[in-house]
Amino acid sequence: MTGRLAAVPEPGVRVRAPAKVNLALRVGSVRPDGFHPLATVFQALDMFEEVTARPAPPGAGISLTVTGSQAERVPTDRTNLAWRAAAALARRVGVDPDVRLRIVKGVPVAGGMAGGSADAAAALVACDALWETALSRAELLDLAADLGSDVPFPLVGHTAIGTGRGHILTPAMVRGQFHWALAVSHTGLSTPDVFREFDAAAGGERGAEGERGAGGERGAGGSGAGPTEASTDALHVDPGLMKALRAGDAGALGRALRNDLEPAALALRPELGRTLALAREAGALGAIVSGSGPTVAALARSARHARAIAAHWTAADACDAAYCAAGPAPGARVVG
């Protein structure tokens, strides 16, 4: 008897890395090197970027394809963070960078949720496994920090305190799960412009975060106050926020959310104020601009409540798209 032979699966490594929201972001005055000192709290969400790395013929170099939501807005050349991650890993371990990368988008583009940084983190893990380079997690984190301030966190995931440029991570104790509604705009908000506005309010000059990120791939998020102290040592995360995380107290967490960049984002995009107000009108425990914007994240009482907030935004035409997510979620990991 004859029959059709089953197709042999193409070898490759598939890795999933999470989006993030910043529960708190304190931003100091610009330093002489052009960066701002930060104290931030990241939480990974169960919205994922997926990167598959497959071998390419010798000498072929790196190639990249992107599918999924808003894929047309993502570069597929060497300016892409995943491409840069693969090239950096190849240089570090001394292998030829022959790999085909495929990204499946699951995180809004240019929304302050670190989708591009998640791609880079996933590419590091995928290429490390594909090339059997066996780098330690510390070595991968070092490579990630060189790629951008936001890239280390998707490697770690869960919830963590970030200091320095946001790249020095300390795990945070968290009990339970937190539910979020996310209002997304398809028109991005420029990180350099947000920092320029922030520095103008502080009477300083624009920093360099537009190049390397600051507490977020495109900035960082929270809700609350304006410019803060210049010294990293002077910046601190509200102890009440950390206590709320340890207790799993969503109400207390909602009251403690803070983002020093939010006034600057609102100055540039005043309509985000309506999105924040609608979230609170729908009973959100807290609402924040994620990163330097324009995504707004609202903390909900439950998954059902998150869906209700998202529906309230949609009915009021307050966003281009609304999503629901939960955190904390795991960091970059091989899934196939």
Catalytically annotated residues: 20, 150
Q: What gap in Å lies between CA 213 and CA 210, rounded to an integer? A: 6
End-to-end, the C-alpha distance of the chain in Å comes to: 33
CA 202 to chain centre: 26
Q: What is the maximum alpha-carbon separation in the chain?
A: 82
User: What is the DSSP secondary structure assignment for residue 108, as one 8-state letter?
Assistant: -
Q: Is the link from the previous residue into 171 a cis peptide, with omega within 30 of 0?
A: no
Please name the residues in contact with 193: beta carbons below 8 A apart, sequence gap of 6 or more: 268
Which residue, among 261, 329, 241, 233, has the nearest Cα to 26 in the 3D structure? 261
**Residue keyed to tokens 């984190």:** 141
List of residues 6+ apart from 238 with CB closer than 8 A = 24, 256, 258
DSSP 112: S
